[in-house]
Amino acid sequence: MMAAARGHYDVYNLLVSEGADLSLTDVDNKDCLMLASEGGNMSIVKHLLSLKIFDINRQGGVFRQSAVMVAAVEGHDVVYNLLVSEGADLSLTDVDNMDCLMLACERGNMSIVKHLLSLKTFDINRQRSSNRQSAVMMAATSGHYDVYNLLVSEGADLSLTDVYNMDCLMLASEGGNMSIVKHLLSLKTFDINRQRSSDRQSVVMMAAARGHYDVYNLLVSEGADLSLTDKFNKACLMLACEGGNMSIVNHLLSLKTFDINRQGGFNRQSAVMMAAASGNYDVYNLLVSEGADLSLTDKFNKDCLMLACEGGNISIVEHLLSLKQLGQGQRGLEEYITFAEEWFNQKIMNLVRSSSSR
């Protein structure tokens, strides 16, 4: 089963010749045919089908997917085509109410998507159960422009929103594909400053948080409001520091409209604290040069040195230790050593320990 799942034909063939039982199923009720469809080796799939002992439409695994659905998910178009030729049922849905078209669009395999659309049997605007996303929304999220473009040409509804009130523009901004974002903006039907319901982030905030500079820059040029804050009081500068894209951070600082020491998020951290926690040295260094206050502590009384130990960037830890004012008074260096130990970071633990002995 392991050999089938990984597409190791020679190993699979040897094990079969030694009497391996092909009728077994795993803890998730996956059989060898499902696993082989996942692995993508045509020779293994052909052999299993030739035995005529497998129900080709049997559904298993955590998501209750059939062999052809698994092939669509993994983008194995040759295996997919073989299963279709053997009579695989393409109308089945999984535990999340996803059909083969949705699964193929999420993974971006054009040949499978084209075949499924050609059948004219799928509702192109059908939405999955968990997050209420349609096929075109999944393509936008994953940044699959060719698939997105094909679905749009087939009449996909771009006005739908998901369970978090996210529209296609939001999903595309998260996905980071410029061509998709450009197309959606050209329609002039989206409110560029709309905020999703889950965390109240707008499209430009999402792009900043994920470090998609080109998308961020385009949204700014289209009038995106950079003064908005999310549900946790995080501003664009904070989100950009988390995302780690220097060009975005540089641009936001150049505006001179942000309080560099403002604290937000669930943990009440400032931009430099977030950069330290994320291990983004360049962003951290830039914020320090702009006068970021390194003495602040967050909601849990963590200071920048603790967060840097967590983030794991040696250069940030070295800089903070060099300032000498950290690790003194009520909070001794032993506390930082313990904290580094908790994060299993031997290099930082040794660095802090050596600093304490100077």
What is the CB-side half-sphere exposure of residue 70 using CA atoms within 13 A? 29
32 closest CA partner among 7, 64, 63 = 7
Q: Which burial class, exposed, middle or buried, applies to 44 when counting CB atoms under 10 A from its CB (0-12, 13-18, 19+)?
A: buried
Q: Which mean pLDDT values do the consecutive 10-residue runs of the chain (358 residues) have? A: 98 98 96 97 98 97 97 96 98 96 94 97 95 96 96 98 95 95 98 94 95 97 96 94 94 96 93 93 96 94 87 88 61 61 59 61
First-last CA distance in the chain: 57
Report in angstroms the alpha-carbon separations of 304 from 133, 209, 226, 280, 326.
39, 20, 26, 13, 9
What the chain holds in terms of domains, given with CATH numbers, is 1-95 (1.25.40.20)
pTM: 0.85
Distance (Å, rounded) from C-alpha 55 to C-alpha 71? Answer: 15
Question: What tens digit of pLDDT does each residue of 69-102 get?
Answer: 999 999 999 999 999 999 999 999 999 999 999 9
Q: Which burial class, exposed, middle or buried, applies to 114 when counting CB atoms under 10 A from its CB (0-12, 13-18, 19+)?
A: middle
Enumerate the β-bridge partners of residue 229: 235
Question: What tens digit of pLDDT does each residue of 112-147 get?
Answer: 999 999 999 999 999 999 999 999 999 999 999 999
